[in-house]
Structure 1
Amino acid sequence: MDSNKSFNEQCYALLMQIPRGKVVTYADIAHQLGGKAYQAVGNAMASNPTPIIVPCHRVVNSNGAIGKFALGTAKKIALLKEEGILIDENKEIAKIVNLAKQRHTF
């Protein structure tokens, strides 16, 4: 990645590569940036000044759980469903159905 960009900017640049209808995990982004800074990736997503435009709603937990979103979990679920992502909401924690199939690889 571009060492002249901040960590957050590098995260956002990766987000722009994720196509509609695909998701990645916090770990995927951290690994792509050369480390295990999963929490830092989460902090970058939470600090995203332009959610939806920079699609942080496409980042989920490694176990497929939807995770948090600045505009609320319900909005994140709605955005993902609008993109064709299948979500199981019948559990205590909403999860992506068949994460491997819906996962983007860099």
Structure 2
Amino acid sequence: PTLLATLDHPDSAPAPLHLCGTPFQRQVWQALLGIPSGSTRHYGEIAQQLGSQARAVGQAVGKNRLAILVPCHRVTRADGGPGGFYWGTTLKQRLLDQERTTTGHAP
């Protein structure tokens, strides 16, 4: 039930997580948790926030396997392209569209 609630209302169903990764990966994933539902950030924006490089952020984002709970789908390329997504860019776009509909953010 908690996972289903998270899918319908991603910001309302907190779930305890123990993320296994390098300290840098966990730092990136923590930054992903700070991106509001219905919004996106560029790899470079996160890199600047963390004092790193966009490529390193992209690699850390790519190691995340908890797509709904750690919202890596909210990270896009600076040129407006979707960037990669472990489960495919079609699902990435569907997740973003769903969040924008739920939160009232325009695409």
What's the TM-score once normalised by structure 1's chain length?
0.72
Superposed, 1:84-95 pairs within 5 Å as 84=100, 86=107
CA deviation profile, 1:62-84 (whole Å, cap 9, x unmatched)? 11111110111100000001011
**Counterpart check, 1:39 vs 2:63:** no
Residue 80 of structure 1 corresponds to 96
| Residue 58 (structure 1) shift | 0.1
The number of residues matched between the two structures is: 81
CA distance in 1, matches of 2:45, 2:68: 19
Gaps of 5+ in 2: 1-21, 101-105
**Counterpart check, 1:49 vs 2:65:** yes
Residue 13 of structure 1 corresponds to 30
What's the TM-score once normalised by structure 2's chain length?
0.71
Residue 74 of structure 2 corresponds to 58
* Percentage identity across paired residues of the two chains: 41
CA distance in 2, matches of 1:13, 1:45: 11
Ranges of 4+ aligned residues in structure 1 off by more than 3 Å = none
Residue 11 of structure 2 corresponds to none
| Residue 49 (structure 1) shift | 2.5
CA deviation profile, 1:44-98 (whole Å, cap 9, x unmatched)? 1110021121000000001111111011110000000101152xxxxxxxxxxxx
Gaps of 5+ in 1: 87-106
Which of 28, 48, 57 is residue 45 of structure 2 equivalent to?
Answer: 28
Structure 1 or 2: more helix by fraction: 2
Residue 71 of structure 1 corresponds to 87
